[in-house]
Amino acid sequence: MVDWVKSLSKVLYVDLGRKVSWVEEREDLFGKWLGGVGVAVQLYKEEVPRGADPLGHENAVIFAIGPLTGVFPMASKVVAVFKSPLSGFIAEAHGGGRAAATIRFAGYGAIVIKGASDIPIYIVVDGEKVRFRDAGALWGMRSSETVGRVLREALPGAGYRTIMRIGRAGERLVRYSNLTVETYRHFGRMGLGAVFGSKKLKALVVIGKSGFKLPNVRAYREVYKEVYELARGPLTKKYHDLGTAANVLPLDKLGALPTRNFISGRFEGAREISGEKLAEENLARRVACLACPVACIHLAAIREEYEDERYFYKTEFVPYDHEPIYALGSNLGISDRFGLLKLIKAVEDEGLDSISAGVVLAWATEALERGLVSLKETLVELRWGDWRNYIRAVGYIVSQPNEFYKTLALGVEEAAARYGGAEFALAYDRVEPAGYHTGPLYHASLAIGFRHSHLDAGAYAIDQSLVASGAPVPSPEEAVKQIIEEESWRQVLNSLVLCLFGRGVYTKEVVVKALRALGYEADEQTLAELGRRVYLEKHGIKFLEGFKPEGIRIPRRILETPTPLGQVREEFLKGVVSYYAKLVRDYIGDRSAG
Amino acid sequence: MKRLVVVDSNRCVGCDLCVYACTNRYGYVGVSKSAIHVRSAGGIERGFVVVVCRACRDPPCARACPVDALVLRKGGGVVLNPSKCIGCGFCVTACDIGAVMWDSETMKPVICTHCGYCVAFCPHRVISLEEVG
């Protein structure tokens, strides 16, 4: 056993029902599966029974980090695995901020949260001590930002801690509510906020102050220096300069920027909400996740005069990235930058996944336009570009004053099932899509994706390279191969756990070097096999939970709106899904019967 | 002689790579042995506070030490003599800027030696070494 595994193998279990916690040494898991998603999926298998209700006490949330966390630059993410209340199946979300290294230096490789509390609580993990605290005073608080501020001031450990919390959306079980980390980062997708809410868990605070002795300092420093230089160089410059918002203009130019509920891939207001314009006019500060020199987190400042008093101003900070710009900007026809930032802020305060929220609102706008619903349902006039009314609607999604908004809180699939308009209800497997309309491979990757993030397999990049080279779109079988190969390798990165913005820094060669410096006998072949195994394990669990990809609904809108590679063909997507299903079923074999 | 200075804390992005570099001097990873501390200035949007030893000419930490374990360093600041140190922690309390850190494994203070190892790992030129007379 590699010694380094021992530094990582403590798993903290917290049972919210009984209000107890304990630690188990799990060298077995960390030795075999490295960490991160590899380990989290195995813990999920142990903890969550097949028929568990995602919002019931049987569901568990597993946070896991990996051998490189806090040790090498850009190893800055935590993987969360849980059963999603949006999709109904095992799901995964990643979060940054100060969470990853802090969990590491609190002494844990993973934290398992199980059971459900009878009263609102929050948990404080301070090294070896775990405290259950009454969250009565925090429950129902209007802004998740305020919750963070209260906890920041009430608790010790400034500079050594992470504060993860949900907003009101999570409390009220909106199926696409998120878990916010350090105010501006998120475990964004798949409804982790609602899982916290169902457990009456308002926040998880971890304080980590320790360190670990390295097995070979000289070897470590050599690789560290190399990685550090790469991580602050041209490979990550895009993320440092404009952040992910750098994508807005190139995607628009390509005709791949989803606009007004994917009716078009071009937005006439793209320039106004571009990374360039935001940086020039609104960017106030760039910040980083722990252990990351890149600092891709872009915070805008919005200055606003109170309507009731002249010269009385307030200034608020709003994080922006490509995804909220797409979902709450171009996809809602909003080109007013101030309005877009105000809308993002509203979504942030409530603790909603901005992608799902934007897609749900886009569907509602079109449903109103086409007369499927009326003002009686929507309560406010939802019109492309009208950010003030969208802000009101965001509030209604959370407060749920009528049946319509109660339904919107369940996601776009449920909304379309109830009110119609499935052809323009954008979702794959009940999960609203991330902001690219690059071509068939991207949509295929969403159809068979796990995290429903564009980073699952990065297939938008394959589409873009096809556009550039003019090469023909591969056959479904070939496309599946490409997508799964990439997604499998990313399972290795997600087990270490690295930020995927560092995927260009951490080539296979660099990953091997970094692991060897810590005493792991890794080689590219073994790692690639591990990645494939993790891929099959997690997709396998989803199938065993009853996932049937062949029945997938492909929204007509996806097929109708041309991409830079032309129209996406339904047979292509169905072909991809069927090859994928066969591959996973071959892996799980007989287990599906049990 | 040189001393470590914070050039512009507004450039700090809060990555903590300086903290990790400092701990690494002892062959460790983590935060436990770092003489630098970074924390948000009351919310990340307000930026970060970077706490480093100012290399005082007449350091309160040395005056507070009951066993003379902190010896004046040429160029300012102090050098720790760990075999004299009894771990009372008076030096930590004596430093108003909070630049005397605590190693809870050895139960002794962590004192900045102004070596500048951290400077090489600050990606955004927040800290630097400055010549002092």
The burial of A257, by beta-carbon neighbours within 10 Å (0-12 exposed, 13-18 middle, 19 or more buried), is given as buried
Q: What is the pLDDT of residue B133?
A: 74
Identify which of B38, B2, B24 has the alpha carbon closest to the alpha carbon of residue B124.
B38
Span A259-273, average pLDDT: 98
% of chain A exceeding 90 in pLDDT: 96
Locus of tokens 């009528």: A402
CB distance B44–A184 less than 8 Å?
yes
Closest-approach residue (CA) in chain B for A284: B45
**CA dist., res. A471 & res. A466, Å (int):** 5
The alpha carbons of chain B give a radius of gyration, in whole angstroms, of 14
Q: Can you tell me the mean pLDDT for B66-74?
A: 97
pLDDT, one tens digit per residue, over A405-442 is 999 999 999 999 999 999 999 999 999 999 999 999 99
Cα–Cα distance measured from residue A391 to residue A334, given in angstroms and rounded to the nearest whole number: 12
pTM of the model: 0.97
* Contacts (Cβ under 8 Å, ≥6 apart) of A338: A302, A304
Note the pLDDT tens digit of each residue in B77-129. Answer: 999 999 999 999 999 999 999 999 999 989 999 999 999 999 999 999 999 99
Answer yes or no: do A152 and B43 touch at CB < 8 A: yes
DSSP code, position A417: H
Question: Could you tell me if A405 and A394 are in contact, meaning their C-beta atoms sit under 8 angstroms apart?
Answer: no
pLDDT in tens, A96-131: 999 999 999 999 999 999 999 999 999 999 988 999
Q: B103 in contact with A at a CB cutoff of 8 Å?
A: no
Mutate to test the interface with B, among A285, A298, A302, A349 (most CBs of B within 10 A): A285
CB-based contact A273:A251 (threshold 8 Å): no
Q: For residues A529 and A537, give the distance between their C-alpha atoms in angstroms, rounded to a whole number.
A: 12
pLDDT on residue A594: 43
pLDDT, tens digit (0-9, with 9 covering 90-100), for A46-101? 999 999 999 999 999 999 999 999 999 999 999 999 999 999 999 999 999 999 99
Distance of CA A423 to the CA centre of its chain: 26
DSSP per-residue string spanning A101-136: HHHHHTT-SEEEEES--SS-EEEEEETTEEEEEE-T
Looking only at the bridges linking them, the beta strands covering A313-320 and A297-305 are antiparallel
Residue A198: closest CA among A52, A77, A348? A52
Confidence category of residue A1, pLDDT binned at 50, 70, 90? low
Residue (of A94, A103, A143) closest to A126 by Cα position = A103
Q: Does the beta carbon of A208 lie under 8 angstroms from any beta carbon of chain B?
A: yes
> Contact at 8 Å (CB) between A159 and B38?
yes
Bond preceding residue A497 cis, omega within 30 of 0: yes
CB A36 within 8 A of CB A495: yes
Distance from CA of A228 to the nearest CA of B (A): 8
Examine the pLDDT at A593 and tell me if it is beyond 60. no
Test mutation, A209, A286, A302, chain B, max B CBs within 10 A? A209
What is the structure's pLDDT at A592? 58
Q: DSSP secondary-structure letter at B73?
A: P
The candidate with the shortest Cα–Cα distance to A262, out of A349, A377, A362, A163, is: A362
C-alpha dist (Å) from residue B132 to B3, B56, B111: 7, 11, 18
For A298: left if phi > 0, alpha if psi spans -120 to 50, otherwise beta; the answer is beta
